[in-house]
């Protein structure tokens, strides 16, 4: 691993990078600021994308989206003068297609018919709604957080639930 490129599985850092490249949010003063700005900037009518199988890495576990080709497209379009609204929309549309493809592949492989969209990235309604629609159209049941926050606020509750089901009872002293 290159010591100048820390490893992360956070989609938030990808949103930070795209927001900086497009100029939508060159610097963020709080976590999620760039992602919020990028979602707000997106042209909701734009249907273009950069999805191609080269974005997917299914060689290991977990599957992943290769960000290098995606960031290259964001940079190229921005350099060509495409508006931040267009670039942001294409970025979102590409993520939706990539996530849908990976999700459908995993569901086929494991005979699953229900998926749950959770995590801080699904506070982004554009991403959540478009991915949900695509997965529904493919015949999947899609669950999403309603009573518990989808981001870090719900992690502790999940940990308590798992712990309560797996912990051995403590004998009184």
Q: Is residue 2 part of a domain?
A: no
What's the total number of domains in the chain? 1
Q: What is the mean pLDDT of the chain?
A: 89
Query: pTM of the full predicted structure?
Result: 0.84
Q: Is residue 4 part of a domain?
A: no
- Lookup result for tokens 């939508």: 24
Domain residues for the domain of 126 are: 11-166
Q: What is the mean pLDDT of residues 34-46?
A: 96
Residue 3: predicted pLDDT: 61
CA distance 44 to 89: 7
pLDDT digits (tens, 9 = 90+) for 42-52: 999 999 999 99
Q: What is the mean pLDDT of residues 115-132?
A: 92
Q: Is residue 6 part of a domain?
A: no
pLDDT digits (tens, 9 = 90+) for 75-120: 999 999 999 999 999 999 999 999 999 999 999 999 999 999 988 8
pLDDT-based confidence at 63, cuts 50/70/90?
A: confident
Which value, in Å, is the radius of gyration of the alpha carbons in the chain?
18
Residue 9: predicted pLDDT: 64
Residue 173 has pLDDT above 60, yes or no: yes
Query: For the domain that residue 17 is a member of, what is the CATH number?
Result: 3.30.420.40
Q: What is the mean pLDDT of residues 118-143?
A: 94
Residue 60 has pLDDT above 90, yes or no: no
Q: Is residue 83 part of a domain?
A: yes
Q: Is residue 173 part of a domain?
A: no
Q: Where are the alpha helices (DSSP H) in the chain?
A: 11-22, 33-41, 67-79, 84-110, 125-137, 155-166
Phi, psi of 107 (to 5 degrees): -65, -40
Q: Is residue 172 part of a domain?
A: no
Q: Is residue 62 part of a domain?
A: yes
Q: What is the mean pLDDT of residues 17-37?
A: 94
Q: Is residue 108 part of a domain?
A: yes
CA distance 153 to 151: 5
Residue 89: predicted pLDDT: 98
């Amino acid at each position: 691993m290159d010591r100048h490129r820390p490893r992360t599985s956070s989609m938030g850092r990808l949103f930070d990078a795209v927001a900086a490249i497009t100029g939508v949010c060159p610097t963020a003063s709080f976590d999620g600021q760039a992602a919020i700005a990028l979602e707000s900037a997106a042209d909701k009518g734009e249907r273009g994308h950069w999805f191609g199988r080269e974005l997917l890495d299914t060689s290991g576990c977990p599957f992943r989206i290769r960000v290098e080709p995606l960031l290259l497209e964001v940079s190229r379009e921005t350099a060509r003068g495409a508006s931040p609204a267009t670039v942001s929309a294409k970025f979102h549309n590409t993520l939706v297609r990539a996530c849908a493809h990976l999700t459908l592949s995993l569901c086929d492989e494991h005979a699953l018919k229900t998926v749950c969209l959770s995590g801080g990235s699904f506070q982004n309604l554009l991403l959540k709604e478009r991915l949900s629609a695509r997965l529904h159209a493919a015949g999947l049941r899609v669950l999403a957080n309603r009573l518990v926050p989808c981001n870090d606020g719900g992690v502790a509750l999940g940990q308590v639930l798992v712990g309560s089901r797996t912990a051995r009872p403590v004998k009184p002293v």
